[in-house]
Structure 1
Amino acid sequence: MDNFVFLYLACILAGFALINLPLAGSLLAGIKPVTSLIGILTILVFSLVLIFKGIIALVGK
């Protein structure tokens, strides 16, 4: 199994953390849409990588 699987899972969790980052009432409240977009893209990319790795492992290549 690939050694980076736990790193991919950590990246997915970091994406969820970016989405749920409480920025209301701070000076950084204006970048909330940017952090949400980065979080969503991070979750999608690393989830797709994990799905791809799983399919490759099932096929046996």
Structure 2
Amino acid sequence: MYQLALLYLAAVLAGFSLIVVTLLATFLGTVAPTLVAIGAVAVIVFSLAILYLALRALFNKHLK
């Protein structure tokens, strides 16, 4: 369970790095909007997955 959460956290950080790299690298000007969109979607999806895992763990602990 914790390994999956760490994997999702790594994916969130990778999404943030895609967003930041477009701000720092000027030679990526043509693909910058695409990278920002991919990074934003990755951050949103994997953040929701981490929240789902946390809520599932919380409710499983209280229901037992």
Is the TM value for this pair above 0.5?
Answer: yes
Secondary structure of the residue aligned to 2:30 is helix
The structure with the greater share of residues assigned to helix is 2
1:31 correspondence with 2:25: no
RMSD: 1.4
What TM-score do you get using the length of structure 2 for normalisation?
A: 0.83
Deviation of 1:58 after TM superposition, in Å, equals 0.6
Sequence identity (%): 36
Aligned to 1:8: 8
- Residues in 2 aligned to 1:10 and 1:3: alpha-carbon distance in whole angstroms: 10
Runs of 4+ aligned residues of structure 1 deviating over 6 Å after TM superposition are: none
- Residues in 2 aligned to 1:23 and 1:15: alpha-carbon distance in whole angstroms: 16
Number of corresponding residues: 59
1:17 correspondence with 2:17: yes
5+ residue gaps, structure 2, are: none
